[in-house]
C-alpha cells in the first residue's frame, strides 16, 4: 500500500448526554481523571451558580446580555434554552482543542446533543441511561438541590428524553454503584471510533 493512502486518524468530537439524574457529571469527572488527552468543554450558561460549583470548571457563568453578545458574534457552536436558562458551547474552545491534537468531550442535554449532530455529523453521541424510571426518580430526589415541583418537571422531561435513544450512536447504562464500568465502556467506544474508516471531517 502506498503510504499516502493510509487514512490519517482524525480527532473525535464526543457528546455525552442523557436525562438529568443519569450521572453525566460523575462520568465526565472520572474520564477526566483517567485520560489527560481528552479536552472537556466548559459550557457557558446564564443560570445562577450553585454553591458546589466552580466557575470555569463546572460551567462558565455569565449574564444574559453577555450570552446574547456571544450569539450575535457567532461565538457559540450551539446553544439552547434548558429549564428556562441558556446554555451554549464556545466554538473557539472546541476549535483550539482539536487543533492541539486532543479529542473533545462535551456534556450536553439531549436537545443540545441533537443540535451538535445536525451541525457536525462526525460527532459521536453517547446516551447515558439508568436501569429503570424508578431509579432515575430516586436519583433526582436524592439531589436535594431543587423544589419538589422542579424535580417533577425534570422527571417528566426525562421520560420524554428517554424516548430519544435511537437518535444516538451508543447507549451506555450508568450504575451509580459501578461508575468505572460505564467509563470503561465509553473508553472502549472511543478506541473503536478512533479506528473508524471514512469518518466525516469536523468543520467549525
Out of 11, 107, 115, 154, pick the active-site residue. Answer: 154
Active site residue 11: no
Q: Compute the distance between CA of residue 154 and CA of residue 83 in angstroms, rounded to an integer.
A: 9
Phi-psi bin for 21: left (phi > 0), alpha (psi -120 to 50), beta?
Answer: left
Would you state the cell numbers that stand for residue 101, as one nine-digit string?
491534537
Active site residue 143: yes
Q: Tell me the helices (H) and strands (E) count for the chain, helix number first.
A: 7, 9
Overall residue count recorded for the chain in this entry: 204
Secondary structure of residue 82 in the 3-state scheme: strand
Active site residue 138: no
Strand partners, 61: 45
Out of 49, 69, 143, 194, pick the active-site residue. Answer: 143
Q: Compute the distance between CA of residue 46 and CA of residue 143 in angstroms, rounded to an integer.
A: 21
Q: Confirm if 111 and 82 have CB atoms less than 8 A apart.
A: yes
Residue 27, C-beta contacts closer than 8 angstroms, at least 6 positions apart = 16, 128, 174, 179, 182, 183, 186
The set of catalytic residues is 50, 143, 154
Amino acid at each position: 500500500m502506498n503510504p499516502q493512502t493510509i487514512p490519517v486518524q482524525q480527532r473525535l468530537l464526543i457528546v455525552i448526554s442523557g436525562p438529568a439524574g443519569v450521572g453525566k457529571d460523575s462520568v465526565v469527572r472520572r474520564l477526566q481523571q483517567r485520560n489527560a488527552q481528552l479536552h472537556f468543554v466548559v459550557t457557558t450558561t446564564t443560570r445562577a451558580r450553585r454553591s458546589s460549583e466552580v466557575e470555569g470548571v463546572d460551567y462558565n457563568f455569565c449574564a444574559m446580555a453577555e450570552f446574547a453578545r456571544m450569539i450575535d458574534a457567532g461565538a457559540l457552536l450551539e446553544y439552547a434554552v434548558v429549564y428556562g436558562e441558556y446554555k451554549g458551547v464556545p466554538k473557539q474552545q472546541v476549535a483550539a482543542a482539536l487543533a492541539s491534537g486532543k479529542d473533545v468531550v462535551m456534556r450536553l442535554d439531549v436537545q443540545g446533543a441533537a443540535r451538535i449532530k445536525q451541525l457536525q455529523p462526525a460527532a459521536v453521541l453517547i446516551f447515558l441511561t439508568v436501569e429503570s424510571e424508578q431509579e432515575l426518580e430516586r436519583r433526582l430526589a436524592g439531589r436535594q438541590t431543587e423544589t419538589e415541583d422542579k424535580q417533577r418537571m425534570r422527571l417528566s422531561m426525562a421520560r420524554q428524553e428517554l424516548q430519544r435513544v435511537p437518535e444516538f450512536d451508543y447507549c451506555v447504562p450508568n450504575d451509580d454503584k459501578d461508575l468505572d464500568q460505564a467509563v470503561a465502556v465509553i473508553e472502549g467506544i472511543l478506541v473503536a471510533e478512533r479506528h473508524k474508516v471514512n469518518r466525516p471531517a469536523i468543520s467549525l
